[in-house]
């Protein structure tokens, strides 16, 4: 009977670890990437009325297909896409990006990163 309960506990622990790996860790990595992208914009003084830059100038261009094979997943391109879709980052017609600094504190409070 003890052997069965030990196996059951192992299965529960394995299930919890699987849940963490599947749901919690990617969410944490995405939130961290959002903060990193905002920090990159602020560090480069890339604020909307003043200045806009391209992905290459900001260092946010997605890695090539070969680089993707040998590096861990980078959540910054996905975070940038999410920031553009909610209006925190503006994309101009010529492909330049800038941060709408007035919206950042409100976004961070609603997303739970503050």
Q: What is the pLDDT of residues 21-32, one digit of tens each?
A: 888 889 999 999
pLDDT, residue 113, reads: 54
Q: In whole angstroms, what is the distance from residue 106 CA to residue 98 CA?
A: 17
- Give the residue-averaged pLDDT of 35-44: 94
Domain 2-111 sits in CATH 3.60.20.10 = no
**Half-sphere exposure for 86 (CA within 13 Å, toward CB):** 15
pLDDT tens digit sequence for 54-99: 999 999 988 888 888 888 888 999 999 999 999 999 998 888 999 9
Q: How confident is the model at residue 1 (pLDDT cuts 50, 70, 90)?
A: low
Q: Is the pLDDT of residue 107 over 50?
A: yes
Q: Which residues of 52-79 are buried (b: 16+ CB within 10 A; e: fewer)?
A: bbeeeebebeeeeeeeeeeeeebbbbbb
DSSP 21: I
pTM: 0.79
């Amino acid at each position: 009977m003890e052997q069965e309960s030990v196996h059951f506990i192992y299965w529960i622990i394995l299930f919890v670890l699987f849940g963490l790996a599947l749901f919690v860790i990617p969410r944490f990595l995405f939130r961290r990437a959002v903060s990193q992208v905002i920090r990159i914009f602020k560090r480069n003084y890339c604020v909307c009325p003043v200045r806009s830059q391209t992905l290459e100038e900001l260092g946010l261009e997605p890695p090539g297909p070969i680089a993707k094979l040998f590096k861990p997943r980078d959540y910054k391109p996905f975070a940038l896409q999410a920031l553009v879709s909610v209006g925190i980052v503006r994309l101009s017609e010529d492909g330049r990006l800038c941060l709408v600094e007035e919206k950042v504190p409100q976004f961070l409070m609603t997303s739970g990163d503050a």
